[in-house]
Structure 1
Amino acid sequence: MNRINRRVLLGAMSAAVLAGSAGLAMAAGEIRVLNWQGYGTDEAFATEAFEKKTGVKVVHDYFTSEQEMLTKLRTNPGAYDVVLINSAFTGQAKAEGLIAKIDTSDMPNVKDLAPSMGQNPDLVPGGDVYGVAWTWGATALAVNKDKVTPLPTSLALLWDPQYAGKVSIRDDGVEAIQFAALALGQDMNDIKDLEAVKAKLKALMPQIKTFWSSENDWNQFFSAGDFTVSTFWSGGAGRSITKGLPVAFVVPQEGAVGWLDSLAIPATSKNQDAARAFINWMIDPEFYVQWAAKGAPSSANAKANAALPDSDFNKQAFADPAVVARVHFMKPLSDETRKAYTELWQDVKTAQ
């Protein structure tokens, strides 16, 4: 079989995705995925179904921060075939030549992506796809609904003296600064008065009982009663609720920090046909509905969202367009700005 015919055949197989295209094993015996641990792509039911239908095994490696993800791509050329990238970092990865332009012509589920997600300019600069929109969500307020009544409507809750020593936020300088900016009525993606933000964060420090850095941390601290009021991810809140924790998730009037995650293909991947087939499976409604039952972020696939039951957490949390409008999606930051934010955050924490 010549190279051209083989590519045509593999393209057809990718389009079929999980329609019995075992021939993909010709292109790759396995693909390697770089992601946060426990974030969808490593769900056993999903990887097993993909391997059964395509013959391609899915192997994972993990990162604990976006900076670590970029470092792994830089220092391990050829090691990965699919990578999870937040839209705020896609431009940097593209500029460094770390990710490839994706031909989505043999990825039928791409057509069902919500236009605002699938055509996000940070993922599709100039019309070329460098990240396939996958999931999105918001970091907002999560409270113990048994102890906070009525439910809050404002970020001012974090500074309320009533909850002194009962507050937690994620130990992330950029996110902390963004929340302080929102609380002050500033544009979190274009902060004009950083000194005011710093003062606002200093005022928050006496309220803090503990910082959290992972979903596991958050659930343990919440279950132990270490805090009553916190910031948290929408997907995490949904999973906590499925575990029976008395969590209420609120997008406050000042807004929430939004994020859009995509699946990209490293420029050095040698298995791009299989990588596209795997990404197509990850945005498939069949996969997403099963994942959502366990607690997942919102899907960028409109068809997948429509297939969810009305009781779904994300469907309820973001049913109101006015709520979605209050979600401020993170934009890319320069290295200089990110460094300044990190230094400010360290100053605030050490001064408490």
Structure 2
Amino acid sequence: MAKTTPLKTILTTIFVAAFGMPASAEGELSLLTWEGYADDSFIAAFEAETGCRVSATYVGSGEEIIAKMAAGGGVYDLITPASDITRLIIEAGFVEPVDISRIEQWENIYPQFRELDNIQMDGEYYAMPYTWGAIAFMYRNDAFETPPTSLAALFDPRNEGRIALWDDKSAIYVAARYNGDTNIYTLSDEQIAAAVETLIEQRPLVRRYWSTAGELVDLYVGGEVDISNTWAGYQSALIAAEGIEVTEFIPEENAEGWMDSWMIVDGSADNACTYPFLNMQLSEQGQCGVANVNGYSVANPVAARNCMTEEQFVALHQDDPAYLDALLMWQPLGDRMGAYVNAWNSVKSQ
């Protein structure tokens, strides 16, 4: 079992007031996860095959995951944080080790993910890599005569009222890169302050800080925004399905990359549904299930090869793991997490 640490108290103080307490869910496998990770298109078959009932609470940011865990995360069985906060969650004692001997396709996961320090501690794994992708940028094709190639478009007064930005601490990363500070995970206090100033100057141009995939889709479909950041592959497909042409791009200032993992909430390993669910999610059923719903790349290229078309396999960079090296993959912020979160909150409070 995971060890309780004083870090739980610290995280509770930082996050709970902002996000509140989760609701209890009994008699089922309860997930705290992102949209699409528990979609009926592949979860229904799992429920039918195993008799396990799955319920999901969706989040819009990593900070919300931390807040809900700090507020009483025992009501959940599994969570899917990104790799920038997995170490924090492990050290806080919110989760317990994953018995990789019970994960049937563990060795098929990309070595880059299996070797990450921030999913391990004291010789044990605490997370099962699941999906990955980029925080790309996106624009309406009919809104720009010259396609944007730089972050400058998100700070251009000509786009006033037509810009959306993810309501997440990663907004600090965006502003820092725009300012020319590329060391986005080790920013100094002065660099963070400069990013805050840039975001405050940008704020009158922003139509909405979006929190969920559906919210951003609605902004585009409703004709409210022309450019934003996006969870690459997901919202663009939903918007295109509504007949609106949008284009994703990696700006000149680069883009962040992320990797989400399943983690077992402390005390949930004994749930009879936990490991069957994890194995399903790493199999063809779960890997192509989430790829087809969200458009994300997946952690098990062997399963992906077995269930994807060649076109999809290539489009999702499953054949090119070196693509990961071109992105600014999210990294743990350590004791600087509070500085980034507080900085973003200060922008929104203006």
1:94 and 2:125 are equivalent in the alignment: no
After TM superposition, give the deviation of residue 176 of structure 1 in Å.
Answer: 1.1
The residue aligned with 1:204 is 202
After TM superposition, give the deviation of residue 299 of structure 1 in Å.
Answer: 0.7
In the alignment, the residues of structure 2 paired with residue 342 and residue 77 of structure 1 have an alpha-carbon distance, to the nearest angstrom, of 20
Amino acid at match of 1:226: E
- The change in CA–CA distance for 1:305 and 1:241 in structure 2 (over 3 A counts) is farther
The residue aligned with 1:255 is 254
Contact 2:84–2:332 (Cα < 8 Å) also in 1: yes
- The structure having more radius of gyration, on CA atoms, is 1
Q: Could you state the TM-score of these two structures normalised by the residue count of structure 2?
A: 0.80
Encode CA deviations 1:224-262: one digit per residue, 9 max, x unaligned. 221111111113333333443312111112111222110
In the alignment, the residues of structure 2 paired with residue 91 and residue 297 of structure 1 have an alpha-carbon distance, to the nearest angstrom, of 23
Encode CA deviations 1:297-343: one digit per residue, 9 max, x unaligned. 2111112343422443x8426477786433212222345x3333344
After TM superposition, give the deviation of residue 97 of structure 1 in Å.
Answer: 1.7
Aligned 1:140-219 pairs, distance under 5 A: 140-172=136-168, 174-183=169-178, 184-192=180-188, 193-219=191-217
Among candidates 99, 109, 113, match of residue 109 of structure 2: 113
Amino acid at match of 1:283: L
In the alignment, the residues of structure 2 paired with residue 295 and residue 270 of structure 1 have an alpha-carbon distance, to the nearest angstrom, of 27
In the alignment, the residues of structure 1 paired with residue 253 and residue 74 of structure 2 have an alpha-carbon distance, to the nearest angstrom, of 43
Unaligned runs of 5+ in 1: 1-28
Contact 2:128–2:263 (Cα < 8 Å) also in 1: yes
Match of 1:93, SS state, is helix
- The change in CA–CA distance for 1:197 and 1:70 in structure 2 (over 3 A counts) is closer
Match of 1:105, SS state, is helix
Unaligned runs of 5+ in 2: 1-25
Encode CA deviations 1:252-304: one digit per residue, 9 max, x unaligned. 12111222110011121153553122111111123322443333321111123
Aligned 1:53-72 pairs, distance under 5 A: 53-72=49-68
The residue aligned with 1:236 is 235
Q: Could you state the TM-score of these two structures normalised by the residue count of structure 1?
A: 0.80
In the alignment, the residues of structure 1 paired with residue 129 and residue 316 of structure 2 have an alpha-carbon distance, to the nearest angstrom, of 20
Contact 2:257–2:324 (Cα < 8 Å) also in 1: no
Contact 1:305–1:315 (Cα < 8 Å) also in 2: no
- The change in CA–CA distance for 1:60 and 1:208 in structure 2 (over 3 A counts) is closer
The residue aligned with 1:22 is none
Contact 2:138–2:247 (Cα < 8 Å) also in 1: yes
The residue aligned with 2:40 is 44
Contact 2:34–2:80 (Cα < 8 Å) also in 1: no
Amino acid at match of 2:294: G
In the alignment, the residues of structure 2 paired with residue 116 and residue 334 of structure 1 have an alpha-carbon distance, to the nearest angstrom, of 21
Equivalent pairs counted in the alignment come to 319
- The change in CA–CA distance for 1:79 and 1:214 in structure 2 (over 3 A counts) is closer
- The change in CA–CA distance for 1:158 and 1:181 in structure 2 (over 3 A counts) is same
The residue aligned with 2:78 is 82
Encode CA deviations 1:48-88: one digit per residue, 9 max, x unaligned. 32233333332334445434433444454653332222222
In the alignment, the residues of structure 2 paired with residue 196 and residue 264 of structure 1 have an alpha-carbon distance, to the nearest angstrom, of 35
- The change in CA–CA distance for 1:218 and 1:144 in structure 2 (over 3 A counts) is same
